[in-house]
Amino acid sequence: CVIFTTCAVAAATHWLLGLPWGVGFVLGAIVSPPDVVAPLAIAKRLHLPHRILVILEGEGLANDATALILYRFAVLAVSTGSFSLPTAAGSFVLILFGEMAFGIIVGWLSLRLRQWAHDARVEILLSLLTPYLAYWVPEHLGGSGVIATVAAGLYVSWNGPLLISAATRLQGIFFWDLAIWLIEGVLFLLMGFEVRVLIEKAKAVPIGEVLVAIALTSAIVIAARFIWVFPGTYLTRVLSARAKRRDPTPPWRYVVVIGFTGIRGVVSLAVALALPLTLPGGEAFPYRDLIQLTSFGVIFVTLFGIGLTLPVVVNLLGISKHGHREALNEREAEIAARRTIIEAAREALTTIIAERKLPEGLAKFLEARHETRMRALPDPPRDGDEHSPATRGASMVREIIGIERTHLHRLLREGKITDETRRRIERDLDLEEAVVDNREKHTPL
């Protein structure tokens, strides 16, 4: 979708506005990646089906990385005055697969180091350094670094649940929430500063030319997304029976909503601000003011235009009803997953009690813990009880929780639960383990 949109914007601005091809590709690469944050916030508020949310989150990672690589090539073409499609295609493939491999290696090393750290603060520091390492090395070697960063993050996310400690996850949630909030705040603060500069620059650019460029580019990016998502959704399943079996064809209403979520936001803003002031020879970057003004205009049009009309479209299509039914099904799957991991832990506990000949009081406590959790279904399990004898068996409780976490991760890999369900269950396990650890530290055994 990003490549298609970039080419469409470049062709339209070249033929209709007379911009050079290189400048058109720069503008297209800037406005091609759809934002993820705003559509997801709207989608969750409207109770859209989980399948739509997954598609939006998944395409955001690939779209942002692809757009930044295209932007790099386009700026290079404008700076050098030459462009070779075979060379660019070869470089793109090399960057894609090379950075994916490097990102996976960085993710693997990060998890190994975090496994040895045994300190939540050190693990969080490593989680902060991992994306910088994944980005800096390819960037220093002439790549983009973005794909490597995404690959490292995906590897850690997929393989980390069994290796990262509960304390790290609990503290990391607050750390990363704050970090993301600060980064987004700084970006929009920069946007506010840049708007004042752009207002001054706009005086030097004919207002009619700017408005035409904004209207044309906005229409192209919105239309290109609809033109792409329908063939992209249905043709792959028509041409590949395997793809259809693995991922059944979504209802057309879902495709309409996905096509309607082409809001531009933070990535387009950041890339527009990063546009070079001059070329290597010292000349001003051609059409820089027009590119930035058009990019900001497209962000404004899509953010408010699509953002305000998307709820109306969702209500007209009746998608929210699908989301409510799916939420009920997901709740049932969550309860079933909780029951499965508790039963698996109970079977393991029976073996442990027999093999290790645990004291009767400790054995009864461990058995009662699981009976209590099973009886609590479908309500969320309790985090703990102040008067329970958990301090006498902290290590045993941690071992049993580890068994539950292993089975939970297996359910996720088998596709029986969603990642969101896994996170909710894992959060409860982490909280219970944190309670046990805290009592062990502050209570004499």
Distance CA 107, CA 101 (A): 10
pLDDT grade for 68, boundaries at 50, 70 and 90 = confident
Residue 308 has pLDDT above 90, yes or no: no
Q: How far apart are CA 169 and CA 427, in angstroms?
A: 9
Higher pLDDT, 310 or 221: 221
Residues 394, 188: Cα–Cα separation, whole Å: 47
Domain span(s) for CATH 1.20.1530.20 in the chain: 2-317
Tally the C-alpha atoms within 13 A of residue 307's C-alpha that lie toward its C-beta. 18
Who wins on pLDDT, 108 or 390? 108
Handedness of CA 395, 402, 439, 363 (dihedral sign): negative
Q: Residue 377 has what pLDDT? A: 64
Q: How many other β-carbons are positioned within 10 Å of the β-carbon of residue 332?
A: 11
Closest CA to 149 of 92, 190, 110: 110
- pLDDT tier, 379 (very low <50, low <70, confident <90, very high otherwise): very low
Q: 234, 249 in Cβ contact below 8 A?
A: yes
User: Mean pLDDT over residues 16-45, rounded?
Assistant: 86
Q: Give ∠ CA 350-425-351 in degrees, rounded to 5.
A: 10
Q: Is the pLDDT of residue 399 over 50?
A: yes
Cα separation, 18 vs 29, whole angstroms: 18
pLDDT for residue 219 = 94
* d(C-alpha 330, C-alpha 325), whole Å: 9
**Residue 323 pLDDT class (50, 70, 90 cuts):** low
Q: What CATH fold (topology level) applies to the domain 2-317?
A: Na+/H+ antiporter like fold (1.20.1530)
Q: Which of 427, 385, 376 is nearest to 404 (CA)?
A: 427
